Amino acid sequence: MDWIHITGSRGFIGTELRKALSGYHIDETAATIDFDALNGKVGVLIHLAGSISDTESFINPEKYINNNIKKLARLLINNSFCKIIFPSSVTVYDSVGNLNPRTVYGITKLAAELLIKAYCKNYWILRITNPYGPNDTKSVFAKLKECKLNNKTFTIYNDPKSVKDFFPVEHIGNVVKGILGGSITPGTYNVGSGVGTVVMSLLETLCQRHGISYEYADPPPGLSIGYVPTENLLTHEYRRVEDEWANYLL
């Protein structure tokens, strides 16, 4: 059995993958050191480490170029992975589905995809939509939790065009197990339910349902309005996020 090196394995998706892949040979050192310091490794790379905010990427593009591209390049040069699984992002698409990222974050994700394809023939690019679930500390749902627990006012961006696909993070673990088990061939895939949810309406519903005060604000520059991919989709059965998120976060 090949060793599996998971960078960023202590994060939201990484924690779910470590749980899903119990029984596999997981290299824990990949999670405890700066990932670009890995050297001479073979086996399977699951690359999760990186910077992930659309809006922050406009404010601090150098951080995103360094973390998401330069460090990945060193990781690929210094090791000889036989397989690479890379959870990318649907921010590589524009609002109508063209491969045309509109944020610095999306640009770095697309560049990372191209780097991986150049260095490894056995790759799985997983363009993730919007997972939710336990150990989430950064998403809009985590911010809702903070406002609920601390009696703060939640800010909803006044953007009725923003549509996103929310799905449980456990689906990513099932997809990765399918890859390692040989049931999913190398290639580029979208991952989600394929069902779009208007973000503004969803957040209004959650605030009203759970007694969270809210206010409206204009969206910041660089906020991705979202895209719900339906082609080449590794789909999870749609579940209403408004009925589920509190099970994980409240």
Tens of pLDDT, residues 11-70: 899 999 999 998 899 987 887 778 888 899 999 999 998 887 878 888 888 999 999 999
User: Collapsing DSSP states into helix, strand and coil, what is residue 205?
Assistant: helix
Interior angle at CA 134, CA 46 and CA 105, nearest 5: 50
What value, to the nearest 5°, has the Cα angle with vertex 74 and ends 33 and 16?
45
Residue at 240: amino acid letter? R
Q: Given 3-state DSSP classes, what are the helix, strand and coil percentages for the chain, each rounded to the nearest 5?
A: 40, 25, 35
On whether the pTM is more than 0.85, the answer is: yes
What is the tens place of the pLDDT at every residue in 84-138?
999 999 999 998 899 999 899 999 999 999 999 999 999 999 999 999 998 898 8
Domain assignments of the chain as residue spans, ordered by start:
3-249
Range 136-171 burial, b when 16+ CB lie within 10 A, else e: beebbbbebbebbeeeeebebbebeebbbbbbbbeb
- Look up the CATH architecture of domain 3-249: 3-Layer(aba) Sandwich (3.40)
The H-assigned helical ranges of the chain are 12-20, 29-32, 54-59, 61-65, 71-77, 104-119, 140-150, 170-180, 199-209, 241-249
